[in-house]
Amino acid sequence: MTVSTHVLDTAAGRPAAGVSVELSLRDDDGRSWRSVEAGVTDADGRIRFAAETVSGAYRLTFGTGRYFSDHGLVGFYPEVVITFSAVTFDDAPGHYHVPLLLSPYSYSTYRGS
């Protein structure tokens, strides 16, 4: 299974390039998280993580505060964390695309394709 995201700055009407994103997996204890991979969105606001992942609970942590301050704005959310469940099947490993629609005072997300 693989994971990708696409961050769109809806207030500016453009992709959010340069946003730091960390993909983490919830440990078996159910309380702690282990970093799987981290990166920064490209010019189109996208990042596709190279790591092959297993079934479990994942989270994407977006460095939104830094993104807004780099653009001379003050955002309400210093980071956005999206937690989701992923299931891998032996015959169809699958792909999870988790977009983030972002503005200084709101955000939304959905399961993309």
Cα 68 to its chain centre, rounded Å, is: 16
* Ordered domains of the chain (ranges, CATH): 2-109 (2.60.40.180)
Q: What is the C-alpha to C-alpha distance for residues 36 and 59, in angstroms, rounded to an integer?
A: 10
Note the pLDDT tens digit of each residue in 56-107.
Answer: 999 999 999 999 999 999 999 999 999 999 886 655 568 899 999 999 999 9
Confidence of residue 1 (pLDDT cuts 50, 70, 90): confident
Q: Tokens for 91?
A: 């015959």
State which H helix or E strand residue 67 sits in: helix 64-70
pLDDT tens, residue by residue, 4-56 = 999 999 999 999 999 999 999 999 888 899 999 999 999 999 999 999 888 89
